[in-house]
Amino acid sequence: WLLTTARRKAVDRLRRDQAYAARLAVLAADAERAEPAPGPDVSGSGFGFGSGPGRGPGPGFGFDELPDERLQLFFTCAHPALAAEDRTALTLRCLAGLTTPEVARAFLVPTATMAQRIVRAKKKIREARIPFRVPGPDELPERLPGVLQVVYSVFTEGYAASSGPRLQRLDLAEEAIRLARILRRLLPAERECAGLLALLLLVHARRDARTGPEGEPVLLEDQDRGRWDRPMIEEGRALVVRALTGGPAGPYGVQAAIAALHDEAADVTATDWPQIVALYDVLRTLTPSPVVEV
């Protein structure tokens, strides 16, 4: 059984790496249609992965220490020359493996609108000759929110799949948690990294109780809370404390606090609804949207 499982894992990993290599080749081809912008030479592929001359790691973070090329790609594509929504959409479509309809659902827009947005982002990369290179340590803070948004969106599609026979895509949800753990480990001073990881853990802890025997969705009030993953909940609760301590709360920390209140309650009637409403009021000031209003 162990050998069979290992073999299947290896095949899945090879297929995933091949898929990412293909997407990378598409982006590289788009970028090469324009003359490369002048800039420092960096080692690695045409996108400049790895540490080049003069690119030492910043405090608590260095790309030479990053054990995952996907996060390197995410940071590379979070270029400030692109609009925030455009670069997130492009990363989700070309690097995170989501389809255009899935990306559109994440942004609550029609598929045609999202397709135009992705095409527009690629066109701007070509016309503005935006270089694909690993950002330096001083560029990371402005790019981190975009990377967190990508990881969050990948998890969201895993939590409630927009297509397919199953409500949940556990592979996507678990991949998002893995990436969030890496970010948390490499950026321990960033409270929103703790907030995002806490949110994903506290929500994913309910995975086994969210569907019935036939795969049908089970509402929160009807779920068997004995099937919730308690160790995962405890880990998430500890991270919530870190995310909400030491300064103004960020949107992921607030959402994680809401999820923690649900997970702590013995049942729906015991849930601290007034505090949840108060937290949503805070979230509305941080990230106003129709979803938060509802």
The 10s digit of each residue's pLDDT in 234-246 is: 999 999 999 999 8
Among 98-102, 107-111, 130-134, which is the least confidently predicted range?
Answer: 130-134
Cα–Cα distance for residue pair 225/101, rounded to 1 Å: 33
Q: What is the pLDDT of residue 61?
A: 47
Q: What is the pLDDT of residue 239?
A: 97
Does residue 86 or residue 9 have the better pLDDT? Answer: 86
Q: What is the mean pLDDT of residues 277-291?
A: 94
Cα–Cα distance for residue pair 106/162, rounded to 1 Å: 9
Cα–Cα distance for residue pair 244/253, rounded to 1 Å: 6
Q: What is the pLDDT of residue 44?
A: 30
pLDDT greater than 60 at residue 177: yes
pLDDT greater than 60 at residue 286: yes
Cα–Cα distance for residue pair 83/262, rounded to 1 Å: 35
Tokens of 58: 């910043």
Answer left, alpha or beta for residue 60, where phi above 0 means left and psi between -120 and 50 means alpha. Answer: left
- C-alpha distance across the termini of the chain, in Å: 47
Q: Which residues make Cβ contacts (< 8 Å) with residue 89, sequence separation at least 6? A: 103, 107, 114, 117, 118, 121
